[in-house]
Structure 1
Amino acid sequence: MQVKDKTVVVTGAATGIGRALAMAFARAGARGVAIADLNAAGAATVAAEVQAAVPDCAVFGQAVDVADASAVQALTDEATRRFGQVDVFCSNAGIILRKGLDASAEEWQRIWDINVMAHIHAAKAVLPQMLERGDGYFVNTVSAAGLLSQIGSAPYAVTKHAAIGFAEWLSITYGDRGIKVSCICPQGVQTNMLFGEKGERKGFLQEGSVTPEHVADATLAGMADERFLILPHPEVLEYYRRKGQDYDRWLRGMRRLHEKVMQEFGGIAM
């Protein structure tokens, strides 16, 4: 798919990857971009930035809690009202919880609602109109953690695996009816999630990290080829192959990495 003349919804768009995606879609010729985020002021700011950069693109910002199915439906309805239809739904919002078995049931539920259920809410909201047209695209920001794992965060590793699983099911079930699905699976990206809001965090994924703009460029290229896996870090594919070729060997290597991260970074892998 080429983004030119398409309409796009991007969640988690007030900062980081989401902001870069919104700007990249507009610059690639999208005729409409909806910029959604829990941070209403941030969504409005990015919407103004995108509009200033690409005056011909119809842009609006909207507050949305992606964990709330009714809020995601309202976002879809507003984008459809303004643009006529939603061609691409970029489900980008996500959080990390740097805990293991010490995470509470409430914390598990919160990250599950954002990292997994948000993708499901998006599909329920926009899939009917896409199926009616026989065309549509879901672009879900996941993580290399969904293919590999996440040192220092059981909730992140588990929810990102689940997000990949849902995207696979979506593609299998609806791919022959014109529905395209891509998962963006980067390693370290230079955002607040990686460095902390004040740049105070240190982690091994910072080495080799890429900018949000790099991720956005890789996403446009992946969408043009309609690839399921979009890998801003190409080496992730080799790591994934090694995992499949010899799972036990891969696990031993990950245990060594876990020990190194615990010693050097206090368990913060990102």
Structure 2
Amino acid sequence: MKVAGKVAVVTGAGGGIGAALAAGLAEQGANVVIADLDGVRTDRVARAVGGIAVAGDATRVEVLEEMIAAAESNYGPVDLFFANAGISGEGGIGQNDEQWQRILDINLLAHIRAARLLIPGWVERGTGYFVSTASAAGLLTQIADAQYSVSKHAAVGFSEWLSVTYGDQGVRVSCICPMGVNTAIHTDALQADDEASQLGANVVAKAGRVLEPEDVAAITLAAIEEESFLILPHPEVLEYYRRKGSDYDRWLAGMRRLQRESAAG
């Protein structure tokens, strides 16, 4: 899909990959609604790219409805929705169910709630595009962070299901699965007080080049033009994924070794 003239909504667009996606979309002629929990950052990005700002929690249906309404009233029906808002876990297995519920709300259920609102209209029109920001952790795993790993696996699974179920009805789906990206999630984990978060971030940093958000956005928009499902800003992830599928036990043993070596420094 060419994005010029299309209407796009980007969640988590106050910074990082979301802000870079919003800028890239605007540069290519799309009309963009910038959504983020942080109203100040949302307004700043909206002014920079000439878009519409909606501040609020993307896990709430009423806020998602506000994003869609803002797009429709200013530009027209939503053509592309970027489910980009996301957070990392607390490290380890998680201390309580509330932590798990929060990360699942943001990294998975927000995607599901947005799709519920958009898919019927897209099927009726015979066109629409859902883009999920997942992670290489959703294809492989995230050492030391069960919540992030599980939620990103689920996000990949939901994207696959959307494509299988609605792909023949004009709905396109892409799933972005990068490794290290220079965003607040990555830098905060590197500087975290708990050893589990630091361990996970250090593994990511050592696994491959840490990309800038603008790199990920450019690769993503090129893949959307080709309507590719799996978007891998780090191409080496595909080889890791193949090794995992070809010999699961060997891959698990290798991941345990990587964990030990990283923990040892």
After TM superposition, the score normalised by the length of structure 2 is 0.93
Give 1:257 shift. 1.1
Give 1:199 shift. 6.3
What do the CA deviations read for 1:11-50 (whole angstroms, capped 9, x no partner)? 00001000000000000111x1000000011100100111
Distance 2:161 2:126 in 1: 18
Q: Mean alpha-carbon deviation: is it higher for 182-191 or for 124-133? A: 124-133
Contact 1:64 1:75 in 2 (8 A): no
What do the CA deviations read for 1:31-83 (whole angstroms, capped 9, x no partner)? x10000000111001001112xxxxxxx1111121111221122112211211
- Sequence identity percentage: 51
Distance 1:64 1:130 in 2: 24
Give 1:154 shift. 0.2
The one-letter code of the counterpart of 1:37 is: D
Distance 2:93 2:247 in 1: 27
Give 1:198 shift. 9.6
Distance 1:77 1:103 in 2: 38
Distance 1:152 1:263 in 2: 14
1:4 and 2:1 matched: no
Distance 2:254 2:10 in 1: 36
What do the CA deviations read for 1:98-133 (whole angstroms, capped 9, x no partner)? 322342100000000000001001101211221111
The one-letter code of the counterpart of 2:40 is: A
The one-letter code of the counterpart of 1:190 is: N
1:48 and 2:47 matched: yes
Q: Mean alpha-carbon deviation: is it higher for 255-264 or for 137-146? A: 255-264
C-alpha change, 1:197 and 1:206, in structure 2 (3 Å) is: closer
Contact 1:184 1:231 in 2 (8 A): yes
Structure 1 residue aligned with 2:195: none
Distance 2:224 2:149 in 1: 25
Distance 1:210 1:101 in 2: 27
1:116 and 2:132 matched: no
**Structure 1, unaligned runs of 5 or more:** 52-58, 265-270
Give 1:84 shift. 1.2
Distance 1:125 1:49 in 2: 28
Moved over 4 A (4+): 197-202
Aligned length: 256
1:252 and 2:265 matched: no
1:188 and 2:188 matched: no
Secondary structure in structure 1 of the residue aligned to 2:173: strand
1:164 and 2:135 matched: no
Distance 2:145 2:107 in 1: 13
Distance 2:167 2:242 in 1: 24
Contact 1:190 1:206 in 2 (8 A): no
Structure 2 residue aligned with 1:54: none
1:175-214 counterparts in 2 under 5 A?
175-196=167-188, 203-207=202-206, 208-214=209-215
Distance 1:102 1:96 in 2: 11
Structure 1 residue aligned with 2:21: 21
Structure 2 residue aligned with 1:230: 231
The one-letter code of the counterpart of 1:95 is: I
Contact 2:12 2:85 in 1 (8 A): yes
Structure 2 residue aligned with 1:268: none
1:70 and 2:62 matched: yes
The one-letter code of the counterpart of 2:228 is: R
